[in-house]
Amino acid sequence: MQTDSSFTFVLFGGTGDLSMRKILPALYEAHRAGMLAASGKIVAVARHEEDRAGYLQWVNEHVKAHVAKSGIDENAWAGFVDRIEYVKLDLGKAEDFVKLRDALQDHAGTRVFYLATGPSLFVPICHALASVGLNENARIVLEKPLGYDLRSSNAINDAVGEIFAEEQIYRIDHYLGKEPVQNLLALRFGNALFEPLWRREWVESIQITIAEELGVEARGDFYDNTGALRDMVQNHLLQLLSIVAMEPPHSMDSDSVRDEKLRVLRALKPIDPRDISKVAVRGQYHAGVIRGTSVPAYATESGVKTDSATETFVALKVEIENWRWAGVPFFLRTGKRLADRVAEIVVNFRAVPHSALGASALRAGANRLVIRLQPNETIRLYCLAKKPGEGMNLSSVHLDLAFDQFFKEGQMEAYQRLLLDVINGRLALFVRRDEQEAAWKWVEPILNEWAASGKPKPYAAGTWGPAAASAMLAQHGTCWLEEEN
């Protein structure tokens, strides 16, 4: 998947955490694999380093440590560093954007502006780019969070949309670039085995979990004004839900895929504010122990208000009001300081209608598909088989697709895939504005109700969240899957 032609990749926030951990390592991996056009350039923009030499020293000191499992090929690294240029820029100075325009003047090919900055800077940067004509025939990448609610999201989209056309705007959600998510599409739409089963007649429930062991780290100020519902549910979890539940698109072009995702988001059953306590659980971690180490309560983290009512855990029951999924509950869960770091999708199939083999064939979850996104990327299909020996005793067995064992070539990281898609002008894995609006509209009643109600339910760090989250599933005769390795 080599880039089609020359490009200039302009990275705002070039010394930020995201650039250090994800973007520059992903561009290095693409370079090392020969996926970038030889003439392509990377222009880092920041205000901390004085010149290119200082910036390259920062790159060598900080970025190398975050390069993927393949490690550093010194020759490839030298070639990658040769691509990098640097522009010291103060967003408050219009003359600095003239300097950026002049620096890009001799660079041919597609221009990509990646805004790895806070959302409050999106609009000023876009206006400044337009003031010097750099918005023409360019692409712009916007990181989350894009707004605090529907109103602020629309305000940002309106302002950016006055400067860049919708087909120029790439709203990134890195979960959509993960290999198992891509394989979920292949599994469903490339195999006659699964598609007939992917509906209400055969699926009892679906779980989507994104769990983290980490707390808020050094992001207390940001997180305390955001919370798990905005930070994870409105984007990552609802995007994964739409991929799982979408109808088959007529092709894999960008609008065909995103049209089907939008239909799912618009079919989400609206939540009546009076029912939120029945279908939504919010929690906040207290002090606890994770892997033998004591960790503090959220309210004592740096940057967090001591009386904070911000949620660090969310569990939801979601319903989709369409022909395929009517009556099938989707359970979403995300949280910080949980018992393990895991992201997975669990499809629980219905039990057989009658068993001549005993009660074990009728138990919930006997047949399920587990799509693991992290930490290890696998797809595992569970079914029942006879135990060796006398009698018809059934036991759970599984078929495994471990990508790192089956495919000998290395997997592409999510950011690497998505950055190549931006450079090549492929929009299918990026969030369209109407998708984003539909997600905000569905989430807003929960946000409003929680803002007006009491504090989140407490849970000890190192556990799987408040007991109410498990009780919500128990009402439907199921439980969270928490024992997988």
Res. 412 pLDDT band, cuts 50 70 90 = confident
Q: d(Cα 338, Cα 288) in Å, to the nearest integer? A: 10
How confident is the model at residue 408, as a pLDDT? 64
Q: d(Cα 285, Cα 294) in Å, to the nearest integer? A: 13
Q: d(Cα 164, Cα 157) in Å, to the nearest integer? A: 10
The CATH architecture one would assign to domain 7-143 is 3-Layer(aba) Sandwich (3.40)
Task: Enumerate residues 6+ apart whose C-beta is below 8 A from 301.
Answer: 215, 216, 220
Backbone angles phi and psi of 162, in degrees to 5: -75, -20
The CATH architecture one would assign to domain 176-413+431-474 is 2-Layer Sandwich (3.30)
How confident is the model at residue 383, as a pLDDT? 85
Nearest to residue 48, comparing CAs of 13, 17, 99? Answer: 13
Res. 226 pLDDT band, cuts 50 70 90 = very high
How confident is the model at residue 360, as a pLDDT? 65
- Answer yes or no: are the C-beta atoms of 435 and 175 closer than 8 Å: no
Res. 361 pLDDT band, cuts 50 70 90 = low
- Which tokens sit at 170? 């790439």
How confident is the model at residue 86, as a pLDDT? 96
Q: Which of 58-72, 174-188, 307-321, 446-460 is modeled with the greatest confidence?
A: 307-321
Residue from 236, 354, 398, 476 carrying the catalytic annotation: 236
pLDDT of 321 above 70: yes
- In this predicted model, what pLDDT tens digit does every residue of 97-127 receive, in sequence order? 999 999 999 888 899 999 999 888 999 999 9
How confident is the model at residue 70, as a pLDDT? 67
- Which tokens sit at 314? 């969310």
How confident is the model at residue 454, as a pLDDT? 80
- In this predicted model, what pLDDT tens digit does every residue of 154-169 receive, in sequence order? 999 999 999 999 999 9
Burial 76-91 (b: 16+ CB within 10 A, else e): bbeebeebbbbbbbee
- Which tokens sit at 202? 């055969």
- Answer yes or no: are the C-beta atoms of 247 and 263 closer than 8 Å: yes
Give the gyration radius of the chain's Cα atoms: 24
Q: Which of 299-313, 347-361, 407-421 is modeled with the greatest confidence?
A: 299-313
pLDDT of 1 above 80: no
- Answer yes or no: are the C-beta atoms of 24 and 63 closer than 8 Å: yes
Q: Which amino acid is at 408?
A: K
Write the CA distances from 247 to 24, 266, 359, 388, integer angstroms: 35, 13, 34, 41
Task: Enumerate residues 6+ apart whose C-beta is below 8 A from 353.
Answer: none
With a pLDDT cut of 70, the percent of the chain lying above it is 95
- In this predicted model, what pLDDT tens digit does every residue of 425-457 receive, in sequence order? 999 999 999 999 999 999 999 999 999 988 999
- In this predicted model, what pLDDT tens digit does every residue of 65-87 receive, in sequence order? 888 666 788 999 999 999 999 99
> What is this structure's pTM?
0.92
66 is catalytic: no
Res. 485 pLDDT band, cuts 50 70 90 = very low
pLDDT of 3 above 60: no
**Ranges in the chain annotated CATH 3.40.50.720:** 7-143
Burial 151-164 (b: 16+ CB within 10 A, else e): eebbebbeebeebb
pLDDT of 476 above 50: yes
| Other CB atoms within 10 Å distance of the CB of residue 389 | 6
How confident is the model at residue 376, as a pLDDT? 81
pLDDT of 36 above 50: yes
Instruction: Please tell me the least confidently modeled range out of 75-84, 354-363, 373-382.
Output: 354-363
- Interval 14-41 mean pLDDT: 94
- Interval 187-206 mean pLDDT: 91
Instruction: Please tell me the least confidently modeled range out of 162-166, 169-173, 260-264, 480-484.
Output: 480-484
Average pLDDT over all residues of the chain: 91
- Which tokens sit at 160? 């950016």
